[in-house]
């Protein structure tokens, strides 16, 4: 899975819900925890920022808020 795929999925499925968790498993075949690790890396990568700077920024800001909460 590429940074583009992860950021596109996140743009289409913002927030958290049981339906999103099921969609993550069905689409990528990984756990929700692994998805968020990979999404964070995608949001910080130059490739991800170039592809979707708005979603990448939102993901980075959400991660920063959760680290300080």
Q: For residue 16, what pLDDT is reported?
A: 86
pLDDT band of residue 68 (cuts 50, 70, 90) is low
pTM passes above 0.85: yes
**C-alpha dist (Å) from residue 4 to 18, 31, 61, 68:** 23, 19, 18, 27
pLDDT per residue over 7-59, tens digit each?
Answer: 999 999 988 889 999 999 999 999 999 999 999 999 999 999 999 999 999 99
Residue range 54-68: average pLDDT?
Answer: 89
- Crossing angle between the packed helical segments 32-44 and 3-12, to the nearest 10 degrees: 110
Domain boundaries, the chain: 3-68
């Amino acid at each position: 899975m590429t940074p583009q795929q992860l950021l596109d999925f996140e743009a289409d499925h913002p927030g958290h819900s049981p339906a999103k968790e099921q969609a993550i498993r069905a689409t990528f075949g990984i756990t929700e925890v692994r998805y968020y690790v990979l999404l964070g890396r995608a949001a910080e990568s130059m490739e991800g920022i170039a592809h979707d700077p708005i979603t990448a920024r939102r993901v980075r800001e959400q991660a920063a808020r959760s680290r300080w909460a």
